[in-house]
């Protein structure tokens, strides 16, 4: 791990650089997101993660503008929601997202969830392929600077690759202590796909885990800081969310300590300590 601040970057397979910690905005209500995003940017974040389904893109865009930080110094990610899959729908949905955010381009656009056979039967694979074809078009047109996936497990990616002209650059997965998704992370890393960790605190559930608290104690760090550091030491890009400025600040104050190999192994072996641990093949949304 080479990064030494939250503005240091990982490099995606197409050469795009991406700040190594992103600021999450899931469940931040529209009436709080404007202030929260501005404060996150004031705190030092330069990478914002949002999605059409969060219902806060206009406020996120307003917060970005309020910050006064030039667009080219920011990294903005959004995601295509499940109801908008397919070639034409995807192109329209991306335009709507750009309009809501008030930006000319996205730095990264993700398919939020793979289709699954449970909902789509034999059409699942074809629908992912059609959606991805639109992503490739958006990438070629410059409306999005990088394209990727979210919640795609290795078998979903393997099904997509034969029909894809461009290999996905990112996979955003639920990854946190207790749910390390070791096989999926390894698959992505072996194939040059940057993994991002959503729910790096297991949606806050894992923060009370005594193993994490006590490992943090050795370094004068909180369990939240241990979670962020653990992801980074796996070359996984964490997306912590908080609407509180003191927490925004402490969640990126993770560059003055290093978890030992033994700490990493202990954390890797934790199980069942929280988070949604959702199975993309079982979801019905
Ligand atoms: N691709 C996907 O399917 C997907 C799914 C879920 C999330 N995401 C992305 O990943 C981001 C992060 O995931 P998440 O929002 O679900 O959960 P998370 O970041 O794991 O946890 C957020 C929760 O932890 C609390 N928290 C944050 N920092 C804390 C600290 N230092 N001490 C104590 N509590 C703290 C927050 O409360 P306060 O806000 O009150 O501080 C909030 O309740 C999202 O915001 C979103 O951008 C993506």
Spatial separation of the C-alpha atoms in residues 266 and 218, rounded to whole Å: 14
Query: For residue 4, what are its two tokens?
Result: 């030494």
Which of ligand 1's atoms lies nearest the C-alpha of 25? 45
Q: Are 193 and 169 in contact (CB under 8 A)?
A: yes
User: Ligand 1 centre and the CA of 173: distance in Å?
Assistant: 13
Flag whether 280 is in a domain: no
Flag whether 97 is in a domain: yes
| Residues facing residue 236 across a β-bridge | none
Spatial separation of the C-alpha atoms in residues 2 and 13, rounded to whole Å: 17
Which of ligand 1's atoms lies nearest the C-alpha of 222? 31
pLDDT in tens, the chain (285 residues): 689 999 999 999 999 999 999 999 999 999 999 999 999 999 999 999 999 999 999 999 999 999 999 999 999 999 999 999 999 999 999 999 999 999 999 999 999 999 999 999 999 999 999 999 999 999 999 999 999 999 999 999 999 999 999 999 999 999 999 999 999 999 999 999 999 999 999 999 999 999 999 999 999 999 999 999 999 999 999 999 999 999 999 999 999 999 999 999 999 999 999 999 999 999 999
Is any ligand 1 atom within 6 A of the Cβ of residue 148?
no
Is any ligand 1 atom within 6 A of the Cβ of residue 45?
no
Is any ligand 1 atom within 6 A of the Cβ of residue 225?
no
In this prediction, residue 1 carries a pLDDT of: 63
Flag whether 25 is in a domain: yes
User: Ligand 1 centre and the CA of 23: distance in Å?
Assistant: 9
Task: State how many domains the chain has.
Answer: 1
User: CATH no. for residue 117?
Assistant: 3.20.20.100
User: Ligand 1 centre and the CA of 162: distance in Å?
Assistant: 34
Flag whether 282 is in a domain: no
Query: How many Cα neighbours within 13 Å face the side chain of 282?
Result: 4
Ligand 1 pocket: which of 240, 245, 283 to mutate (most atoms within 8 A of CB):
240
Flag whether 256 is in a domain: yes
Flag whether 277 is in a domain: no
Flag whether 91 is in a domain: yes
Which DSSP letter does residue 13 get? T
In this prediction, residue 2 carries a pLDDT of: 82
Spatial separation of the C-alpha atoms in residues 140 and 8, rounded to whole Å: 26
Is any ligand 1 atom within 6 A of the Cβ of residue 200?
yes
Which DSSP letter does residue 66 get? H
Q: How far is Cα of residue 217 from the mean position of the Cα atoms in its chain?
A: 27
Structural domain for 201, as ranges: 9-268
Tell me the DSSP string of 20-44: SS-EE-TT--HHHHHHHHHHHHHHT
Flag whether 24 is in a domain: yes
């Amino acid at each position: 791990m080479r990064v030494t601040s939250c503005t240091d970057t990982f490099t995606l397979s197409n050469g795009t650089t991406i700040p190594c910690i992103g600021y999450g905005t899931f469940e931040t209500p529209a009436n709080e997101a404007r202030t929260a995003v501005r404060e996150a940017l004031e705190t030092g974040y330069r990478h914002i993660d949002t999605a059409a389904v969060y219902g806060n893109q206009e406020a996120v865009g307003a917060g970005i503008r309020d910050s006064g930080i030039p667009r080219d110094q920011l990294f903005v990610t959004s995601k295509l929601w499940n109801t908008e899959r397919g070639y034409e729908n995807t192109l329209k949905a991306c335009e709507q997202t750009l309009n809501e955010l008030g930006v000319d381009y996205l730095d990264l656009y993700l398919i939020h969830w793979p289709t699954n056979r449970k909902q789509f039967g034999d059409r699942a694979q074809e629908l992912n392929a059609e959606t991805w074809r639109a992503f490739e078009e958006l990438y070629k047109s410059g409306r999005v600077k990088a394209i990727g996936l979210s919640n795609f497990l290795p078998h979903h990616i393997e099904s997509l690759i034969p029909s894809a002209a461009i290999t996905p650059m990112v996979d955003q997965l639920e990854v946190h202590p207790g749910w390390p998704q070791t096989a999926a992370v390894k698959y992505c890393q072996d194939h040059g796909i940057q993994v991002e960790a959503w729910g790096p605190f297991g949606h806050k559930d894992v923060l009370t885990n005594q193993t994490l608290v006590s490992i943090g104690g050795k370094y004068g760090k909180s369990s939240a800081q241990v979670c962020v550091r653990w992801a980074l030491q796996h070359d996984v890009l964490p997306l912590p969310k908080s609407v509180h400025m003191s927490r925004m600040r402490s969640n990126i104050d993770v560059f003055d300590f290093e978890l030992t190999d033994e700490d990493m192994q202990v954390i890797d072996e934790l199980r069942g300590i929280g988070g949604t641990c959702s199975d993309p093949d079982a979801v019905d949304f």
